[in-house]
């Protein structure tokens, strides 16, 4: 008995050593933690239970029968993160480069299946040289099985990917199918084809970081939602994100003790808007004054900065915030902003997280590049997902809400449950200058002083329609509120809507404009 116990302990130690001391040292020298170190930081101390430690590949091609890969290059299991169950896998780059073969993929699929059975979040720490070439089609089939599970789990459990090393070729698609992607600056990258292939095919010379590094994907492509400085920061940010989310679509996000608004928040809201509607302000100042402790977690912070998407809490309850940012492109909606908001809204709706929309939008961004790029199609996604969402939806118009963009930012017609506006809000079909040119063009042109006549008509249009009261009289705005009272009004509406039940017509699925 003792001999067998000692044998087991020795075998476990050998397998948990990964690729050995030299490989671990090389991993550290490259600025990366090992797979097991990442999981140790991620899970509450002593709670991680490893699965399939003894799994080995059974490939015999190219001398692979002589090659031992500890745990087949991936650590899988479950444990507690801040007291809640979470499943995870971490690819081990020290063991044959963390390459994915048949059994490696089978381990990942097994823990994904466990996550679905347990109804808990699934987190993947990706650090891999890609498909194990010696295993050929078996490796490719392994990726296919993972992708299938990503699709099945979507909207059922939160899925998070942390790119902490290379991810190339087919390896990038599973992260892209998950809900949120984290990357680490200077040590992680994602691309379909690497620099060598790009150069051979197109002649373009480009490095890993520029082609697919964390900054590239957080600023240009929007593939990653969080770019972190190192592995430790990424892990802490993942844990923070999980604190805002439910374990599955069967639950609501965990509540915490209610907190007060930041000190002098009312004064901040009363004074946030500049006197001129053509001047900018920071919408994040509004968010800070509204949410608990002034704290929020922004997603895709560096991508499509004219749109803010963030998680926060109000009265201790998780909410999702979608807001125009006047500091960038005047808060206009464009292709990237529409896509960014759409994905975030659909995630919140899938996981029972109420939506707060803060509107200050002069319209959709004009121009040939936007039209040729499909702003109609991309903008339609935003309309679609707001209409599709059945979670509580509250909209606050802080200043401008013009034309189709007024509708797209969750108007009452699009399904908002409760719409509010500040008294300085401007709700109209278009800006006063453009409206005057269209409505009064003949009068302006025939006037003795066209410039003065145009200004008179602009002022007339503004006086008639540039306020929230016309919309309020028609019932499109449910309340015109003092800025300082906004937080209390939103909390009251969220409390009233907490048991909201709403259904849509039965269908297999809709055909969202992609």
- pTM assigned to the model: 0.94
Question: Are 316 and 334 members of one domain?
Answer: yes
Question: Are 72 and 125 members of one domain?
Answer: yes
Total of domains in the chain: 3
Question: Are 42 and 60 members of one domain?
Answer: yes
Asked whether residue 512 is domain-assigned, the answer is no
Distance in angstroms (rounded) separating the CA atoms of residues 150 and 348: 18
Measured in residues, the chain has a length of 514
The answer to whether the beta carbons of residues 334 and 375 sit under 8 Å apart is yes
Tokens (6 digits) for 344? 């975030």
Question: Are 109 and 204 members of one domain?
Answer: yes
Q: What is the mean pLDDT of residues 448-475?
A: 78
Residue by residue, DSSP assigns 298-349 as: EESTTSSTTEEEEEEEETTEEEEEEEE-TTTGGG-B-HHHHHHHHHHHHHHH
Asked whether residue 421 is domain-assigned, the answer is yes
Q: What is the mean pLDDT of residues 139-149?
A: 95
Confidence of residue 389 (pLDDT cuts 50, 70, 90): very high
Question: Are 13 and 39 members of one domain?
Answer: yes
Q: What is the mean pLDDT of residues 2-11?
A: 87
pLDDT at site 22: 92
Confidence of residue 59 (pLDDT cuts 50, 70, 90): confident
Q: Which domain holds residue 37?
A: 2-243
Asked whether residue 79 is domain-assigned, the answer is yes
Question: Which of the residues are catalytic?
Answer: 169-170, 404-405
| CATH code of the domain containing 112 | 3.90.226.10
Confidence of residue 317 (pLDDT cuts 50, 70, 90): very high
Asked whether residue 72 is domain-assigned, the answer is yes
Question: Are 41 and 59 members of one domain?
Answer: yes
Q: What is the mean pLDDT of residues 57-77?
A: 87
Q: At residue 150, does pLDDT exceed 90?
A: yes
Confidence of residue 460 (pLDDT cuts 50, 70, 90): confident
pLDDT at site 115: 98
Asked whether residue 342 is domain-assigned, the answer is yes
Q: Report the run of H or E that residue 420 belongs to, with start and end.
A: strand 418-421
Q: What is the mean pLDDT of residues 28-36?
A: 96
pLDDT at site 441: 73
Question: Are 483 and 346 members of one domain?
Answer: yes
Q: How many CA atoms lie within 13 A of 49 on its CB side?
A: 8
Asked whether residue 505 is domain-assigned, the answer is no
Q: At residue 239, does pLDDT exceed 90?
A: yes
Question: Are 198 and 315 members of one domain?
Answer: no
Asked whether residue 508 is domain-assigned, the answer is no
Confidence of residue 287 (pLDDT cuts 50, 70, 90): very high
Q: What is the mean pLDDT of residues 190-204?
A: 89
Question: Are 315 and 225 members of one domain?
Answer: no
Question: Are 314 and 200 members of one domain?
Answer: no
Question: Are 196 and 301 members of one domain?
Answer: no
Which range, of 112-121, 191-200, 382-391, averages the lowest pLDDT?
191-200
Which range, of 92-101, 116-125, 316-325, 415-424, averages the lowest pLDDT?
92-101
Question: Are 198 and 185 members of one domain?
Answer: yes
Asked whether residue 375 is domain-assigned, the answer is yes
């Amino acid at each position: 008995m003792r001999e067998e116990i000692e044998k087991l302990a020795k075998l476990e130690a050998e397998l948990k050593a990964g690729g050995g001391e030299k490989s671990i040292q090389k991993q550290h020298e490259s600025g990366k933690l090992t797979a097991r170190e990442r999981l140790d930081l991620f899970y509450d101390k002593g709670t991680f239970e490893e699965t399939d430690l003894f799994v080995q590949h059974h490939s015999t091609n190219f001398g692979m029968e002589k090659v031992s890969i500890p745990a087949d290059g991936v650590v899988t299991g479950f444990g507690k993160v801040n007291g809640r169950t979470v499943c995870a896998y971490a690819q081990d780059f020290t063991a044959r480069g963390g390459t994915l073969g048949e059994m490696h993929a089978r381990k990942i699929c097994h823990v994904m299946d466990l996550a679905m059975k347990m109804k808990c979040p699934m987190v993947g720490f990706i650090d891999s040289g890609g498909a194990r070439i010696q295993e050929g089609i078996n490796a490719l089939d392994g990726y296919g099985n993972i992708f299938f599970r990503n699709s099945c789990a979507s909207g059922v459990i939160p899925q998070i990917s942390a790119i902490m090393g290379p991810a190339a070729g087919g390896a990038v698609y599973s992260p892209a199918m998950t809900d949120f992607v984290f990357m680490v600056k200077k040590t992680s990258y994602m691309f379909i084809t690497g620099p060598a292939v790009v150069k051979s095919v197109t002649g373009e010379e480009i490095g890993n970081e520029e082609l697919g590094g964390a900054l590239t994907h957080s600023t240009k492509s929007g593939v990653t939602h969080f770019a972190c400085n190192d592995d430790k920061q990424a892990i802490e940010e993942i844990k923070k994100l999980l604190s805002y989310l439910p374990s599955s679509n069967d639950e609501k996000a965990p509540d915490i003790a209610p907190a007060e608004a930041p000190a002098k928040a009312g004064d901040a809201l009363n004074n946030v808007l500049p006197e001129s509607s053509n001047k900018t302000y920071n919408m994040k100042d509004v968010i800070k004054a509204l949410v608990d402790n002034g704290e929020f977690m922004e997603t895709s912070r560096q991508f499509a900065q004219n749109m803010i998407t963030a998680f926060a809490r109000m009265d201790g309850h998780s909410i999702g915030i979608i807001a125009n940012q006047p500091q960038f492109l005047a808060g206009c909606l464009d292709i990237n902003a529409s896509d960014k908001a759409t994905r975030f809204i659909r995630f919140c709706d899938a996981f029972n997280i109420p939506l707060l929309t803060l509107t200050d939008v002069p319209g959709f961004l004009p121009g040939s590049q936007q039209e040729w790029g499909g702003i109609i199609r991309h903008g339609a996604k935003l309309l679609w997902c707001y209409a599709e969402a059945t979670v509580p939806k509250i909209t606050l118009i802080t200043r401008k809400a013009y034309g189709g963009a007024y509708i797209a930012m969750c108007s009452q017609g699009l399904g908002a449950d409760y719409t509010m506006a500040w008294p300085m809000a401007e709700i109209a079909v278009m800006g006063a200058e453009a409206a005057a040119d269209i409505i009064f063009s003949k009068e302006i042109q025939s006037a003795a002083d066209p410039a003065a006549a145009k200004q008179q008509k602009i002022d007339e249009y503004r006086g008639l329609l540039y306020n929230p009261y016309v919309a309020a009289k028609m019932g499109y705005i449910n309340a015109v509120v003092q800025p300082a009272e906004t937080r209390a009004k939103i909390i009251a509406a969220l409390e009233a809507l907490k048991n909201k039940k709403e259904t849509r017509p039965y269908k297999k699925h809709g055909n969202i404009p992609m």
